[in-house]
Structure 1
Amino acid sequence: ANDKREVERRIKEAEIREELLDKLQTESVEAIAKFESISEKWAELKELKDPMSINDELELQKERIKGLMKQKDIIIVECRDELKLADARYTKDLHKQAADIHSLVERVDSQIEIMKRTFKEHLDLLENTIEEERHTLRSVASKKWDDLYTRRAVNERIKMKQEKERSEFFRNEIDRIEQEHIEITRATRIRLEQDNQALEIELQKVKTNTTLNSEKLDYNFQVLKKREDENLMVRNAQKRRLTKLNETIFVLRRKIKDVQMSCLIETEKLSSDILKLRANISHMTTKVNTFAEVNDRKIAYQLYPLTTAMSVTKL
């Protein structure tokens, strides 16, 4: 029963240790993810221009940092509580083992007393015959019990040493993790404070620029308003001028339309005259050509005798 309880205790301790390591691993992953998210938010915060948005994001960043610090404090408290529970379980197991040993010793002593009484009754009858055998049995039994007690004491010292080493290991591991978290937290706090100071300086610059820009905008608004009034007067004058120009354009369009109509009629008339002239020119050309042919024939007929005479003279 004691060995079974010891095995169950070791299995339970292994499960608790595995669960604690898994919890620490999960918390570390979540903490790293939150830390990276906070770092990304700083980069996004630098892109903001609105002071109110910057202030809101700064408040959100503070809340995220507080949440991360609170998460670290919770896991540290859980580790300390688990260490205290482990010490309490170890102390409880030691008390239980001592009680079991005491009970076993009492039972053994009771059995020995019973055996003594039994042996005494038999020894009264068989004292001379089994004196040597009784002495041998008592010696062997005493040696066995001495060996048993010796092995038990050695085992107890070994177990106590192992438990102490495991407890020391867990305590050192928790101290190391706690120290790492403290260093990370301190470095993160310093960096965040520096970033916060830089952002506050940037916020003051933004506020100053905002004030200057507001004054410039007021001045520009007055200038633009004055220009708008001047432009309104100019536009009204241009509208009146445009109305006059539209009236002039309408009159000119009517005149152009009348001139175009007159030109069209004149063009048609001139086209008709041109066609007639072309017909007359064609007729006159035909007559001139006919007259030229007749004239050429007459000249050739008149020159023929003279040409013949000149040919004869040359011969």
Structure 2
Amino acid sequence: VPPTSQKLAKLLFDGTQMVTDIQVAADLREMQRRAEEAELKLQRVEKLENEAKSSTNKMEEIISKWVLAKEMRILQELWQLLSQQQQQCTLLLEAKNKLISDLQQDLKTRDEQYEQAIQKQSDDIYLLLERMEEQIRHMLKSYRHELLQIEKAFELEQQELRNNSRKKWEEAIRAHNAQELEHLHARMRKVEEFEEQLSQLQVQDEEEYNSMKRQMENDVQNLEKQIEHMKAIYRLNQEKLEHNLQVLKKRNEENTIIRSQQKRKLKRLHGLLSNLRTKLASQEKRFREENQGLTADYKRFTKQCKEMQRRMRHFAVSDAEQFTEIWLMNEKEAKGLMRKAFDADCIIHTQQLGLPWEEPQYWFLNNVGPIRSYKTKTVTKMIAEILTVGSGKGGKQPTPKTEDRATPLQNIPKKTAKRILELMSNELDFLIERKVLRSLIILGRHERTHKKLTSIFEALKINTGDDLCQLLDFFLKYKAQDVAASQ
């Protein structure tokens, strides 16, 4: 195959070179023609430029003489000038005509050259086509020859492959036949073994069949007995069902009578229901009207109540302001009197007795406005005061300070308040944490009660004296209601 490829490549190269030689020659001629054309074009342009310059000079000369003609007065001189001008114009036109004829001759020559070039190109094309056809014929001939050689080579290879395949096939057939023969002998041996096993199974199956047959006959007899028994039960059940059917028919008749009675009763109840609905509608209408009237009264009373509350708040504020003003006025007057008393006491001590005098410090001198110390008093102090009632040391109750003379419990007796607090301490242990309860065991009864009440009030969010007073007042009111209910 490689020599064939090289030969074909050489033929293709030679043919291509023959074709390209014509193209190269044509390109060379075209280059020469273009070079000559460029040279002729330069000559022609130079000639035209020279002609244009000479024509321009002549025209200027002619035009300048026309200016002189305007100044001439002698007819003979003017005639001579005109003759000269005419001759110069004729010479100029002849030069132009000669140039035109030269250009026309050149154009004609170029046309002839163009026709010759066209003819030459046509000859080259014909030659190129002939060479291409000849190359195609040579290539086809070479390709056919090479194709025949390749086909012969393929046929030889195919023949060799067929021979080799036939040999392999014969060997495989012989091996397969030997293997099949071995399988046949093995199958025959297995068939003999299976026949022996089959004979044994037949004997065994006959024995099993006989035993099963006897068992099935016994089962058939038992089933026949059961069938007879079931028939007797069936007849008995049939009689029972007939009796039940008669009973159900009688009950159905009774139910029909009861249903008719219930229908009549239902009609009567429907009539009663319609009457009740009518009454209900009338009562609802009446109640609605009453409700509207009561609603209007409620709104009116609510408005009056709000107006009354507004007036009460207004009067309370005005009374409080008036009380505060009177208090401040009296307080100012009292403080003035105290100041005068202090001045008199100072004069008596210093001037009359000759003793040093110190101004006493009283809390009310620094106070401005009504005293409301019970509102700011802490719950802890109030609990301590209430628990000390009736339990003072030596049978004496502790004397309250001057600034605490205002009673924080309002109208609640301290003994009653103490009793309520002791009950709360005993009954509300579940509000106290277990760790706190365990730590209170080692304390005395008074301190333990005080600590327990403090923890309970912290859990209930009771932080001021007002809250404590409200709580005690609630218990008293609840007790009064309970007593009234029991009576």
TM-score, normalised on structure 1?
A: 0.38
Higher helix share: 1
